[in-house]
Chains A and B, each alone.
Chain A
């Protein structure tokens, strides 16, 4: 089987959080969908709660502490991304946004990305389309058409075979297909010279 990597970013704050539950469902479904195409996805989950102080410190000092650096590198090097946030005040959470604020602006370019969100009520479901999708469009991520929203209702008794399950499977299959279509990600070294000094001198 081909080996690929999947980074899962969860901005849930409580433990356990429904945001993490949704992230895990999506990751499990993506692994299963990829396996049918002969791809073994290795999943790394990044809980932003654990990195909240590091993210604030990065905003203030301009560099990431070691644990945050590892998380940012994991996302950049991943072949696919699942990003899940709770909806706070009609949009992604501030912590979620701050993480993507400190991520390199090119880190998600053409990266297959599945966006998902949780909230207390289904009235927030379009936040995915008016808040998350533009954010990832700016970062030039390849966001799959199906986004997944889960309100409190979706975790109820009938949800196991309900709409949420269907969307999780569809979105994850779309993500797996986009990962499969692409070559494995290779990360460029930020310290590597990309231009000769003679050219720099000629064309300042």
Chain B
């Protein structure tokens, strides 16, 4: 099982000090945070994509390539890449390029984006979100698998004899996760292609995640990719820890109360009860996270949101220390002990390459 962190790249004023990091500070801090994730033994760093303030991450592959150059094992991913407003041709090119630079340590999570004003800036309409996601991904999927592509669709200029370059590393497309909070069409899309499904999980009650994952697993089997419990599932999570749980609550509360998305709304206690947010001791985080498995089954990737709402970088790095030293080692052991042998791990480039090599050797033997 993979463990990691994801960032939405918000630039938020620290409510306890009134300090707001500059773009330059926040961008460099993200690199520090990603590198530290590898140092403390995490597997994945995923970065969001936004085209509006207060977020900086409009260009995730640039940031991820810079991080790739300074890390050696960290899997680089996105949370999410906008399949609606980006040109699928540019996504194909950018991520194949990143694959080469990062020696294959790349996958991506596709999402539609729910910020209405962003769509028209890119010539699109949010009301066509699902059709855009379906058509754009159909093209992206083709561009990574066919050398010369002819294409005609509803949303972009037709392509004739187009080759997306560079080609995917070792002719293996980056593994794709499809993210959605509650659109069954996207669970269906992930299942149809045999891709992964990532549930954001953190801003909504667990019952939503449970239903979406169940649908994805059922349809994954329907399309012949394996048994329902062999589908590839990722979950978001959100935690804040201190040795003593009351210290965690006291320290996190002002950040929670003023956070983007849910700030100035429910009490911390209510939100902790209603959603997977856990604020407390490392042991509480371990118990809560292990509990996710009870409603989604054995899953492959757990990402935590650690650096939002104006938390200072020093605090974020301390949180990563706790995650790496006290939480993830226990979770790895416990999840591994529970997982049946026929449940696969999340595909990595190395694993996909090994499978491809084995398959071609088998073909040669049979020939």
Contact = CB atoms under 8 A, between A and B. Distances in A.
Contacts of A66: 205, 274
Contacts, number: 60
A66 B132 CA distance: 33
Contacts of B271: 61
A61 B261 contact: yes
A63 interface: yes
Contacts of A200: 130-131, 134, 185, 188-189
Nearest to B261: A61
Given A193-B215, A204-B135, A204-B155, A60 B262 contact: yes
B90 interface: no
Q: How large is the interface on B (under 10, 10 to 19, 20 to 34, 35 or more residues)?
A: 20 to 34
A33 B126 CA distance: 46
Interface string B242-273: 00000000000000000001111110001100
B185 A204 contact: no
Contacts of A193: 184-185, 188, 215, 219
Nearest to B218: A193
B204 A63 contact: yes
A190 B134 CA distance: 19
A187 interface: no
A63 B263 CA distance: 14
Nearest to A58: B265
B278 to A, nearest CB: 17
B315 to A, nearest CB: 24
A145 interface: no
A65 B270 contact: yes
Interface in B119-165: 130-132, 134-135, 138, 153-155
Interface string A193-204: 101010011001
Contacts of B189: 197, 200
Contacts of B211: 191
Contacts of B138: 201
A60 B260 CA distance: 10
B266 A57 contact: yes
21 contacts: A57-B266, A60-B262, A60-B263, A61-B261, A63-B203, A63-B274, A65-B270, A65-B274, A191-B182, A191-B211, A191-B212, A193-B184, A193-B219, A197-B185, A197-B192, A200-B131, A200-B188, A200-B189, A201-B134, A204-B134, A204-B153
Given A191-B212, A192-B184, A204-B134, 8 more contacts: A57-B266, A66-B205, A191-B184, A193-B185, A197-B192, A204-B132, A204-B135, A204-B154
Interface of A: 56-57, 60-63, 65-66, 190-193, 195, 197, 200-201, 204
The 3 closest A-B pairs by CB, nearest first: A60-B265, A204-B131, A204-B135
